[in-house]
Structure 1
Amino acid sequence: MDTLRNTLAEYHAILMNLEDRESIEAVSEGSTEDK
């Protein structure tokens, strides 16, 4: 059971990391368009 929980926690962390990266890229793209 602990193994499954750890796997889900890692998967969730990776998903959050990917979403953060996408939102950061979207923000940087938006700021370059303003210039």
Structure 2
Amino acid sequence: MSITLFLFLGGWYHSNVLLFFIDRYFITLLLYYSILVY
């Protein structure tokens, strides 16, 4: 029970970290694109 809960929380945290880095990368690309356009 505790092992499955630990794996579930670990996977959720890992996916959130990946989403956070993907969001940072996407926002940076949008900023560079807006600078190039304007």
Return the TM-score normalized by structure 1: 0.91
Runs of 4+ in structure 1 over 2 Å off:
none
Query: What is the identity, as a one-letter code, of the residue corresponding to 2:25?
Result: E
Give, in angstroms, the shift of residue 34 of structure 1: 1.7
CA RMSD of aligned residues (A): 0.6
Query: What is the aligned partner in structure 2 of residue 15 from structure 1?
Result: 18
Match for 1:27: what amino acid? L
- TM-aligned CA deviation for residue 30 of structure 1: 0.4
Aligned residues: percent identity? 17
Q: Deviations over 1:4-24 (max 9, x none)?
A: 000000000000000000000
Q: TM-score, normalised by structure 2?
A: 0.85
Structure 2 stretches lacking a partner, 5+ long: none
Long gaps (5+) in structure 1:
none
